[in-house]
Amino acid sequence: MKSDLEKNISQFITYLTSEIRYSPNTSTSYQNDLFEYQKFIIKFKIDYCNISKDQIREYLKYLDQLKYSKSTISRNLSALRHFYSYLEINNKVKTNPFKSIHNPKKDKKLPNFLQPDELQKIFDSLKIETPLEIRNRLIVELLYATGLRVSELTDIKLSSIDINNHEIKVRGKGNKERIVYFGDYAEKYLRLYLETARPLLIKKNKSDYLFLNNTGTNLSTRGVEEIIDKIVRESSLKHNISPHVLRHTFATDMLNNGADLKSVQELLGHASLSTTQIYTHITNERLRSVYLKTFPRQQEKVDKLK
């Protein structure tokens, strides 16, 4: 028999998916976070409807002992804030005890990105002899050309693409729509895929989605991750590269080539400019390196010290 807490969690997840229209990834993450919270509540015999601030602090210690990263703990707290707001609205608790609990400060970690020669190695390794190879080439081209998240890429529908104007309408985090753009290379492989590869992949199935797997059904985010893993191995690059690295590379290259921060924010679909600003640390390091190598008086000073 389900406990009262378990029932409320189940109802809350249904509410997120059916009424608020949260993405499946976010709903699943919140569900996992709440199940971890449930384990804590059961283990320490806590009344979740009257949890105290001291008990919440103990919960945060509990997550830390599980080796949760700061970003995962922050997401966990976000799930609990939303959950208790839902309980408060439905008169199951009097107040939301997590409303005043602050997220842990995140460690500043610079995003990983590809150097031009590494990116070229990936493109050089790609063949276009089979339908799946054409599809894979298009995946890499679009990830780099648009800076899309993997979930946004797999969610592209044929009706969202304006191939003549090089535009794609995508739905990002928080169900927000935005327009992303692509260049001539991506257009070339998009046309090739639509005209030759996709008709062979879809077989007798019907799908509105752009990317299909080898059975003719929608390609999953995990499927894209496996494709990128395979491409990276075959390109002989020595370090791990996820699809998100192509998003970081897009943002870094845009800023390095003169794009303003606000435009990059909008193209990436970041809600806050501060999220995009992390890329300026990368571009600033590049500028510093260029300056130290090329500024005449700096070079003169180096020469004198030799």
Asked if the structure places residue 66 within a domain, the reply is yes
Q: Hey, which bits of the chain come out as E strands?
A: 161-162, 167-171, 177-181
130 with 237, same domain?
A: yes
Look at the alpha carbons of 5, 8, 10, 13 in this order and tell me if their dihedral is positive or negative. negative
Asked if the structure places residue 291 within a domain, the reply is no
pLDDT at residue 109, rounded to an integer:
64
Asked if the structure places residue 198 within a domain, the reply is yes
Which domain-ending residue is among 243, 263, 285? 243
Asked if the structure places residue 74 within a domain, the reply is yes
Q: How far apart are CA 182 and CA 168, in angstroms?
A: 8
184 with 229, same domain?
A: yes
126 with 236, same domain?
A: yes
190 with 72, same domain?
A: no
What token pair was written down for 270? 């970041």
pLDDT at residue 302, rounded to an integer:
47
SS3 177: strand
| Reported pTM | 0.63
Describe the strand order of the beta sheet including 161-162 as a list of residue ranges.
Answer: 161-162, 167-171, 177-181
CB 210 within 8 A of CB 154: no
Domain count, the chain: 2
Instruction: Count the neighbouring beta carbons within 10 Å of the beta carbon of residue 293.
Output: 10
Look at the alpha carbons of 277, 177, 73, 71 in this order and tell me if their dihedral is positive or negative. negative
129 with 61, same domain?
A: no
pLDDT at residue 5, rounded to an integer:
92
Active-site option among 70, 166, 169, 244: 244
pLDDT at residue 120, rounded to an integer:
94
Look at the alpha carbons of 39, 42, 48, 51 in this order and tell me if their dihedral is positive or negative. negative
20 with 66, same domain?
A: yes
Asked if the structure places residue 33 within a domain, the reply is yes
| Mean pLDDT of each 10-residue bin along the chain, 306 residues long | 84 90 87 95 94 94 91 93 94 92 74 88 95 98 96 97 97 90 96 97 94 95 95 86 92 89 92 83 63 59 49
SS3 162: strand
- Residue 288 known to be catalytic: no
167 with 214, same domain?
A: yes
223, 230, 73: which is closest to 150 by C-alpha? 223
Active-site option among 157, 173, 178, 181: 173
Asked if the structure places residue 255 within a domain, the reply is no
CATH number for 40: 1.10.150.130
Partners of 168 in the beta sheet?
161, 180
CB 214 within 8 A of CB 201: yes
Asked if the structure places residue 273 within a domain, the reply is no
122 with 188, same domain?
A: yes
- Residue 135 known to be catalytic: no
Burial of residue 32, with CB atoms counted within 10 A of its CB: 0-12 exposed, 13-18 middle, 19 or more buried: middle
pLDDT at residue 236, rounded to an integer:
86
Burial of residue 203, with CB atoms counted within 10 A of its CB: 0-12 exposed, 13-18 middle, 19 or more buried: exposed
71 with 170, same domain?
A: no
150 with 35, same domain?
A: no
73 with 161, same domain?
A: no
Specify the length of the chain in residues: 306
CATH number for 220: 1.10.443.10
Active-site option among 149, 171, 198, 248: 149
Asked if the structure places residue 10 within a domain, the reply is yes
- Residue 188 known to be catalytic: no
Range of the domain at 215: 116-243
- Residue 270 known to be catalytic: yes
